[in-house]
A and B are shown apart, each in its own frame.
Chain A
């Protein structure tokens, strides 16, 4: 009885909604037995970490790292100084359910989250071109997601560059140390801005491969010519346009101070 009261039976597979939760919110940065991606491999997590600490960490990872917790700080260093995002709507029950899933999957010979979900074929020049077309919006994403360019830029985007809502992706391939982590990330983008959008319009495997190939190429080009000052160019262009329109208004209504009284006076003289 005491065993039953301690928690759910580990031999039972967790409910499918917990699998969905892990797939949508964790699997883009973590595997269970497939090696590290953006974050660590979670196989055997509960054997090396106690639940109380996991609860504190998962409730607000950034807060624990910033508070100087030695274990959190070590993870932060180990994984290229990137903060794990706080999942919206995280509760103690949800944390327990996710830990139970990790514990259950760790006990299996091969976890459902052990491997990369992308094909492992070599990337080609055609992938790079397709990725570029997808990034720039020349080729629409199959499931209706927005092109990367709307929120991100890279070194090779001409003119005013790409969007600046998200980070510049010129070096993202190198930052994430390659295809495996970047591909997993793109399969289910976990960032709080992208997640609500791409959960409804996920990328297809071939699209992810194309984008990975394009970003790999961009990573090679990055650093040659750093792109700066696009905000100033944009402000100058907008100001010039506004000034032109004001000049046009002045010309269009050039008789504005004479159009009413003078014609009235002239008509009385006639």
Chain B
């Protein structure tokens, strides 16, 4: 019963909130689609926060997407021990880098008075959820390996069963508690996504990864943001 609630009801509820509120926000408050750069308030600590966080999380998310979209190819890659270790150590390294970045983001926001003043409750909700997500993900990688393989075998069919509107909860029902916590927290993140600064992910074109560094200033009034 709990499994059905967490792995069928919760995913659909989260996705419904995600799509409905994201569209509503884009139509009614288009100019709030931003993460409001804080670079001009503090920019030395930011480098060790934002850069490792973003590159780390993008790498980890790319691997999750590969597990969902190319499960057979991922398994074929992992059928060689060396390749498996390269992939697992690589993704664990990226996750640890993202965690390092997130901890710096949280410390920077908490300890700098100017940044504290512009950090909202929604920001803290996101930071805490992300921290839980990173810690459970890293623990899963360490204690329940090799996730890049069994994600493709067990979680990918479950996710596709959700898309087909025929949820097969049995694929996740027997997973260890850490894996379940990681999944449930992921859907909580998706549910709060449209209410928070995370919407900046959807703003295209998204050239942050390869464009040259630049100074960013706010042009929004703080009372309206």
Binding site for B on A (CB under 8 A): 88, 136-138, 140, 146-147, 149-151, 157-160, 162-165, 191-193, 195-197, 231, 234-235, 237-242, 245-246, 249, 253, 256-257, 259-260
- Knowing that A150-B78, A245-B55 touch, tell me 18 more A-B residue pairs with CB under 8 angstroms: A146-B153, A147-B75, A147-B79, A149-B146, A159-B81, A163-B145, A192-B170, A193-B154, A196-B168, A234-B92, A234-B145, A238-B96, A241-B90, A242-B56, A257-B44, A259-B213, A260-B213, A260-B215
Flag if B81 contacts A165 (CB, 8 Å): no
Binding site for A on B (CB under 8 A): 43-44, 47-48, 51-52, 55-56, 75-76, 78-81, 84-85, 88-90, 92-97, 100, 141-147, 149-150, 152-154, 157, 168, 170-171, 173-176, 213-215
Q: What are 20 A-B contacts defined by CB distance under 8 Å?
A: A140-B79, A147-B75, A147-B79, A150-B75, A150-B146, A151-B146, A151-B149, A159-B85, A162-B146, A163-B146, A164-B145, A165-B147, A197-B157, A231-B143, A234-B92, A238-B93, A240-B93, A256-B47, A257-B43, A260-B213
* Closest B residue to A150 using CB positions: B149
* Closest B residue to A238 using CB positions: B92
Q: How far, in angstroms, from A150 to B154 measured CA to CA in the complex?
A: 11
CB-CB < 8 A to A196: which residues of B?
154, 157, 168, 170-171
Flag if A260 contacts B214 (CB, 8 Å): yes
Q: How far, in angstroms, from A149 to B175 measured CA to CA in the complex?
A: 17
B30 CB to closest chain A CB (Å) equals 29
CB-CB < 8 A to B48: which residues of A?
246
CB-CB < 8 A to B44: which residues of A?
257
CB-CB < 8 A to B215: which residues of A?
260
